[in-house]
Amino acid sequence: MSSRTVQFFDTTLRDGEQSPGVNLNVEEKVEIALQLEKLGIQVIEAGFAASSAGDREAVRRVGEAVHTPIVVSLARAVDVDIDAAWDALKTATNPGVHIFLATSPIHRQYKLNMTKEEILNQVEAAVRYAKRFFPHVEFSPEDGGRTELDFLCQVAERVIEAGADVLNIPDTVGYLSPQEYGNIFRHLKSHVNGIEKVKLSAHCHDDLGMATANTLAAIEAGVEQVEGTINGIGERAGNAALEEVAMALATRSTYYGVKTNLQLAEIARTSRIVSKMTGMFVPGNKAVVGANAFAHESGIHQDGMLKHASTYEIMRPETVGQADTRLVLGKHSGRHAFRDKLVQLGYAFNDQQINHLFHRFKELTDRKKLIEDDDLVSLVEERIGDEEE
Ligand code: KIV
Ligand code: ZN
């Protein structure tokens, strides 16, 4: 099995903060960044220094607060943005900049009104300028996923010549299929002079619900860095959820043959902190970090789980720092899980008593969706009361 390692670039504090309604202050950004460092993230995008004085301060404070990850600021391909990024990060332990300029025909025509030649000259100049200050320069052709492949190759060659360290290809509008996205990286690898000098990076959005699948397809095509956010927050439908990518690589390690340097047991805590600070609720059925990700309700599943966890769980909750597996009692639950729950609550009954209580429990599930421990205790205490009369 190959021992290739994929680097994780977290943009919760930049693309994630672009989620409608989310606004993180300096202290919140620092707290999240410190947790991302604990999680083992290698690159943290702390914000967009040129966008506001507050964000510049947040980028500066994150750059000073964390010591292992590279901290980058986003910057348009213009000197004034690169200067703002450097001003914010010159005191950082590991400073970097992430420069972008759109390249797709739609963006060239409607947004930028620029020719291909103008774009090539601007990206080359911006990367060259940034290299005067920053040891780490990443370039992204925005809407790279909808850019003509031959033009994307030209852009790649120009930024590589100018000294870029990372070339990220964003599927900015979450439009591509996994196969199409992976093929872009295969094409770049076989058509761009000097491609081996840069790290290739994937950045996917979730407009069609394919951000994680696309990111994994890019890994199969050989990228060395993946970008995304915690809980998948971000513009519109969000970004690739890094916890999903990490757990796909860990759970299917023999298939992907790729390592990460993440501390997987920090995933749940990171998810909770991001949810609390951003005010973005994590749905119960969210993969890996949702409250129901390790909960089982139906009798058949619960019976399987009581016999062996591998029957219905492909990863263990403790691996990602989630509380234990939960067998949730509801109308689909069976006698086996019901008895097990009563034992956990400290009750021991014979088969006949269990049969009677189970019948009353099923009646209750027709009236009440969620059965809490207190409901079971009342049910049992009523029964004990009946017996005593
Ligand atoms: O999705 C995108 O294109 C971006 C760029 C700024 C890299 O977030
Ligand atoms: Zn993005």
Question: What average pLDDT does the segment 6-18 reach?
Answer: 98
Residue 140 Cα: closest atom of ligand 1: 7
pLDDT of res. 384: 73
Question: What average pLDDT does the segment 282-308 reach?
Answer: 96
The DSSP call for residue 270 is H
Q: How far apart are CA 132 and CA 54, in angstroms?
A: 25
Positive or negative: CA dihedral 171, 149, 153, 108: negative
Provide the percentage of residues in the chain whose pLDDT is more than 70. 98
Q: How far apart are CA 14 and CA 19, in angstroms?
A: 9
Q: How far apart are CA 37 and CA 328, in angstroms?
A: 34
pLDDT of res. 370: 85
Whether 212 lines ligand 1, by a CB cut-off of 6 Å, is: no
What does the mean pLDDT of the chain come to?
A: 96
pLDDT at 3 exceeding the cut of 90:
no
Q: Which residue has the tokens 């989630």?
A: 322
Mutate to test the pocket of ligand 1, among 100, 146, 215 (most ligand atoms within 8 A of CB): 100
pLDDT bucket at 388, cuts 50 / 70 / 90: low
Regarding an ipTM greater than 0.95, the answer is yes
Among the bound ligands, the one closest to the CA of 74? 1
pLDDT at 220 exceeding the cut of 90:
yes
Between the CA of 144 and the centroid of ligand 2 the distance, in Å, is: 11
Positive or negative: CA dihedral 144, 148, 154, 157: positive
Measured in degrees and rounded to the nearest 5, phi and psi for residue 114 equal -125, 150
Determine contact, residues 69/98, Cβ cutoff 8 Å: no
Report strand pairing: 4-5 vs 7-10.
unpaired
**Model pTM above 0.90:** yes
Mutate to test the pocket of ligand 1, among 15, 98, 159, 173 (most ligand atoms within 8 A of CB): 15
Determine contact, residues 186/195, Cβ cutoff 8 Å: no
Question: What average pLDDT does the segment 81-102 reach?
Answer: 98
Q: How far apart are CA 29 and CA 61, in angstroms?
A: 9
pLDDT of res. 123: 98
Q: How far apart are CA 182 and CA 214, in angstroms?
A: 7
Binding residues for Mn(2+): 15, 203, 205, 239
Q: Determine the 3-state secondary structure of 334 from DSSP.
A: coil
pLDDT in tens, 120-166: 999 999 999 999 999 999 999 999 999 999 999 999 999 999 999 99
Question: What average pLDDT does the segment 200-228 reach?
Answer: 98
pLDDT of res. 389: 63
Determine contact, residues 219/195, Cβ cutoff 8 Å: no
pLDDT in tens, 362-387: 999 999 988 999 999 999 998 776 76
Between the CA of 83 and the centroid of ligand 2 the distance, in Å, is: 22
Whether 100 lines ligand 1, by a CB cut-off of 6 Å, is: yes
pLDDT in tens, 247-256: 999 999 999 9
Provide the percentage of residues in the chain whose pLDDT is more than 90. 96
Positive or negative: CA dihedral 226, 227, 229, 232: negative
Element holding 9 (H helix, E strand): strand 7-10
Whether 178 lines ligand 1, by a CB cut-off of 6 Å, is: no
pLDDT of res. 369: 85
Q: How far apart are CA 108 and CA 261, in angstroms?
A: 38
pLDDT bucket at 358, cuts 50 / 70 / 90: very high
pLDDT at 192 exceeding the cut of 80:
yes
pLDDT of res. 164: 98
Question: What average pLDDT does the segment 267-281 reach?
Answer: 98
pLDDT in tens, 27-74: 999 999 999 999 999 999 999 999 999 999 999 999 999 999 999 999
Question: What average pLDDT does the segment 312-337 reach?
Answer: 95
Whether 73 lines ligand 1, by a CB cut-off of 6 Å, is: no
Question: What average pLDDT does the segment 170-181 reach?
Answer: 98
pLDDT of res. 383: 75
